[in-house]
Structure 1
Amino acid sequence: MAETQYSYLVSEAINRRDAQISKTLRKSLSIENFHDSSHQLEALAHDIQLVNDHIKVDSRIFDEASSDYEGIASKLVEKLHWPNESIRIIPQGSATTKTLIRSPDNSKFDIDAVCSVDLTMVEVSDPMDFYEKVGSALEEWEPEPKKRCWKIDFQGRRYYIEFTPSTPLDKIPQSATGQITFSPSNRYREKALAVVDTPSKQWKTSNPEGFSSWVSDQSSRPLLQWLLEKSMRDSYSAESVTPVPAQDVEISDTLRVAIRLLKRHRDMAVRRNFIEPDLKPISIIIVTLLTQCYEGLADKGAVYTHPIELLIDLVELMPYMVERRGNEYWIANPTVEGENFAEEWNDNIKLKHSFDTWTNLLLEDLTEIMATTDKDSRRQTIKEVFGCTAAQSPTPPYGSGLAPKKPSQHHKAPPTKGLA
């Protein structure tokens, strides 16, 4: 079997992991370490599924979001006199990859959307003119300008929408094609867009629809033996991008479950003051590293007997999927050439240190879960780790009733050596 880009990264990650994680720890994380493994594994999988169900977002919210998308599109038509057929609203991010989770304190969360406009059908002079026209049309919602989007905080909603003006890449004016930042990769090239990068006032290549398709396509590749044996590939085929898909995900869809669990664990690490809110690993990094890892394992022909076994490998290997290119950390966007999701790490090393602190905590918590042989005790540990239980006496900052989990010495943030 020929080595692919991600199978090579996975092979390197396995070597680095095995060199840094002791044999004793590796044994404790092995599913073979379970007594009465079949019964224990099913109980563990059931508990993980309960967490997965607990953190998902209520499906009714997506009906509201779809309605809000329609309202935004109608407002653009009304205010700007743009043709209906020139505007396409595309949900992006966690909503389309089915990895959206609710926050531990039930605060508002963001649902991302792209407004794709065929610029050959409207009158726009330059990127900033386009960006400002979209913002002015949304003025009744008092949108907040961001780097590439407008943030709309709808009254009475549990979410806010980050709304990104864009155009299909082949629709930008010919005079601007030589100035656009980054190029689309060959993967999902037909879905590529140009968005407005307000700091540079230039067009920048983006591909949120392609990225979502990448995650869905990789998730559809069965790595579980029983899925292969029962020929269930069609049951897990990639979904077409629809207006905010339903968020029901089973543990057999292990990639998406892993993404959800790790995003929740990160949020709990912030909530429990292990890492600072401004330094927490961003979701796109977690999603990219896990999906790269999953694709690499699939390319290597890896087969697992149980979802928990695959979940453990994804969690263990994820930190080692980060590339080093020269003196820089790299997490490449698979759909846009030259875009590095870890770019800010190279400017602010505290972000990388925070990522390391979180992944160390993640490994410690996973080890504790796997080392607990009593079913009831393990369920309680899982609920505490992922914030699915209430303390008897809630105190700030755990105001919604979460029992604080004391950090070990191991998780103190590493020194920054004066780097900002």
Structure 2
Amino acid sequence: MSITKSAALVNYAEQAKPARLTKSLDSFAILNERFVTNDRERYLRYNPWAQALNAANLHITVREDEISAAASAYQEVAEHLAANLSWPPEAISIRTQGSVSTKTLIRSPMGGEKFDIDAVCEVDISRVQAANPMGFFESVGRALAELEAQAKRRCWNIPFPRQPFYLEFTPSVPLDNVPAQTLATMAPRYRASRYERTALAVVDTPTRNWKTSNPAGMSQWVEDTSKRSLIRVVTMEAYAKDEARASVSPVPDQTVEITDTLRVAIRLFKRHRDMCVRRNVIEAGVKPISIIIVTLLTTCYEGLADLNRSFVHPVELLDELAALMPHLVLNLDGKHRVDNPTVEGENFAEKWNDDDGERYRAFMTWCDALSADLKTILALTDPQEISKRVREVFGIPAPSGGGNGLPSIQIPAPKATPASRGLA
């Protein structure tokens, strides 16, 4: 019986990974045999860790009111395009992509620092117009000149100085609008491998040609994967019925952890990466980019679901995701690979192969630091100590009167674990 690619990757990672990150979780198995009669009681024993980690998750999540201003920014951009170009408004569609669309946008550890809103603009231009990708890209830049747009490789950066964000704005056309002969020159990268209906063509300025992109497909993949339950527990509503007997009030953010464990993992791991940069564990210029973290964690989660793995609590699953993640990076013919699941042939880790291994080493150093920190957190048992350590690790301000909230701690950087060498 054949298995999915994600399941095969997880199988390989399970063979390559070290033992469970912390003995404290293994100790629960012994404790459960003696004192815990069912999964519900075992679930409740994880509450101190769950509450502390979810408090961190809530703190780093960008508030909805801070993001809502993006809607008016999109409208302003669309009006500039319609006013300065020959495109009718109905031919222009602007929507979020990246962290906003996957609901994994996080705050920067540096107070007051702007966050980026990734947006894609789909324009239904003719095939004749699509024959000139650079002309299309540059016309967008000219139309946005009043907004001080700056060209990047595939997008325009719009600063919006009076907003808490800046816009990374990517012009695109439906992939079907690209002439057939042009598509042939893009092969094999022009093929959409999943969620084909949402595939787009964006301009890759270094090559001056079209390149396939599928941001909506990536977002839908994260959404679809996150809905697959890996937690063996009854619903929180069932817990609430005997709340008094359990002496534990159902915490609303627990429901978030049960239903959105994947997104919580992405948010927390991204924040940990940013804290590693702030503490000089890794350098900002070579830190793992968010799309790699999202792809590896979603692949891991999907593979575990495909293999019918299950966990009593999201804390167990977070532990497993951290342990497996570094072993999901493929090394094929001496090249590191993190494949885009929606576009055939695109390697998100392409830059890792052109920098003498600097980005790969930074990734592995970060993974080792993440594992070390989770091991320390999960080895604690006192709720106050757990909460304190979580705040330290993820850079969360202490409660009022509790100091500056950012203690100085040393994160170990053990020897990097080798990447996987691929699948048989």
The bucket for the TM-score relative to the shorter chain is 0.7 to 0.9
SS of residue matched to 1:57: coil
Q: Name 2:83's counterpart in structure 1.
A: 78
What is the CA-CA distance between 1:141 and the residue it aligns to? 1.1
Partner of 1:237: none
CA drift at 1:54? 0.4
> 1:113·1:163 contact (CA, 8 Å) conserved in 2?
yes
Asked whether 1:27 is paired with 2:23, we answer yes
Between the aligned partners of 1:359 and 1:409, the Cα distance in structure 2 is 9
Which amino acid is the alignment partner of residue 134 of structure 2? M
Q: What is the match of residue 251 of structure 2?
A: none
Q: Equivalent residue for 2:408? A: 404
Q: How far is the alpha carbon of 1:345 from its aligned partner?
A: 0.8
Paired with 1:117 and 1:249, the residues of 2 have a C-alpha distance of 39
TM-score with structure 2 setting the length: 0.86
Partner of residue 162, structure 1:
168
SS at match of 1:97: coil
- Distance in 2 between residues matched to 1:331 and 1:229, nearest whole Å: 36
Alpha-carbon separation, structure 2, partners of 1:156 and 1:74: 19
Is 1:9 the counterpart of 2:17 in the alignment?
no
Closer/same/farther in 2, CA of residues 320 and 31 from structure 1, 3 Å limit: farther
Q: Which residue of 1 aligns with 2:182?
A: 176
* Contact 2:56-2:391 at 8 Å conserved across structures: yes
User: CA contact under 8 A between 2:22 and 2:378: conserved in structure 1?
Assistant: no
Does residue 126 of the first structure (1) align with residue 110 of the second (2)?
no
CA distance in 2, matches of 1:2, 1:198: 40
Aligned pair count reads 390
**2:120 pairs with 1:114:** yes
What is the aligned-residue identity percentage? 46
Contact 2:48 2:386 in 1 (8 A): no
Change (3 A) 1:293 1:409: closer
Alignment correspondent of 2:312: 305
User: 1-side partners of 2:72 and 2:128: how far apart?
Assistant: 24
Instruction: Determine the C-alpha separation between the residues in 1 that align with 2:216 and 2:343.
Output: 12
Change (3 A) 1:211 1:138: same
How is 1:270-285 mapped onto 2 (pairs within 5 angstroms)?
Answer: 270-285=277-292
Following TM superposition, by how much is the alpha carbon of 1:308 offset from its aligned partner in structure 2, in angstroms? 0.9
1:224 Cα shift? 1.1
Alignment match, 2:73: 68
2:217–2:342: 8 Å Cα contact kept in structure 1?
Answer: yes
Check the 8 A contact 2:198/2:217 in 1, yes or no.
Answer: yes
Relative to structure 1, the CA distance from residue 289 to residue 298 in structure 2 (aligned partners, 3 Å threshold; closer, same or farther) is: same
**What letter corresponds to residue 55 of structure 2 in structure 1?**
L
Taking structure 1 as reference, are residues 249 and 256 closer, same or farther at Cα in structure 2, changes over 3 Å only? farther
Query: Does 2:386 align with 1:386?
Result: no
Structure 1 residue 293 and structure 2 residue 297: aligned? no
Q: Distance in 2 between matches of 1:31 and 1:206?
A: 46
Alpha-carbon distance in structure 1 between the residues aligned to 2:120 and 2:255: 24
CA 1:409–1:225 in 2, change beyond 3 Å: closer, same or farther?
A: closer
Q: Deviations over 1:108-139 (max 9, x none)?
A: 11110011111129956501100000000000
**What's 1:96 paired with?**
101
Which residue number corresponds to residue 336 of structure 2? 329
The structure 2 residue matched to 1:205, chosen from 207, 212, 227, is: 212
Residue 410 of structure 1 aligns to a residue whose secondary structure is coil
- Please tell me the residue identity of whatever aligns with 1:12: Y
Report whether the alignment pairs 1:217 with 2:193. Answer: no
Q: CA RMSD in A?
A: 2.8
Alignment correspondent of 2:62? 57
**Structure 2 counterparts to residues 208-287 of structure 1, below 5 A:** 208-226=215-233, 250-252=256-258, 253-287=260-294
| Equivalent pair of 1:389/1:403 in contact (CA under 8 Å) | no
Return the alpha-carbon distance in structure 2 between the equivalents of residues 125 and 402 of structure 1: 53
Q: How much has 1:172 moved relative to structure 2?
A: 1.7
Distance 1:5 1:228, change over 3 A: farther
TM-score (norm 1): 0.86
Rounded to whole Å, the distance in 2 between the matches of 1:170 and 1:409 is: 48
- SS of 1:341's equivalent in the other structure is coil
1:315 to 311, 322, 336: 322
Please, which runs of 5 or more residues in structure 1 have no aligned partner?
232-247, 395-399, 415-420
Q: Which runs of 5+ in 2 are unaligned?
A: 36-41, 239-253, 419-424
1:147 pairs with 131, 148, 153, which one?
153
8 Å Cα contact 1:88-1:116 kept in structure 2: yes
**Aligned 8 A contact 2:287 2:363 in 1:** yes
For 2:381 and 2:160, locate their aligned partners in 1 and report how far apart those are by CA, in whole Å.
47
SS at match of 2:100: helix
